[in-house]
Amino acid sequence: MIIRISSKFRKSYKRLPKSVKEKAKEKEQIFRANPFDSRLDTHKLHGKYKDYWAFTVVNQYRTMFAFVDSDKADFINIGTHDIYK
């Protein structure tokens, strides 16, 4: 899986606690191998984010992304549920 990172994701990532950053790196590796691995809890979003998906990083932290095609995804944002506001 090829992952492209948005500037918003990059900025949000920099503000995360170190422990969450470490977990995010682990989950990214799992995502690259299989975006629907059960350890990610990948789910489709609804409402104004209906074109996006998200997976759990740790606790309330999520990575929001969009599939570009079968082997490419754009990471849009990362953070708590506040990223949906």
pLDDT in tens, 10-32: 999 999 999 999 999 999 999 99
Q: Residues 48-59: what's their mean pLDDT? A: 96
Whole-angstrom distance, CA of residue 77 vs CA of residue 63: 6
Whole-angstrom distance, CA of residue 71 vs CA of residue 32: 9
Give CA angle at 58 (57, 60), nearest 5°: 100
Supply the pLDDT for residue 48: 95
pTM beyond 0.75: yes
Supply the pLDDT for residue 7: 98
pLDDT grade for 85, boundaries at 50, 70 and 90:
confident
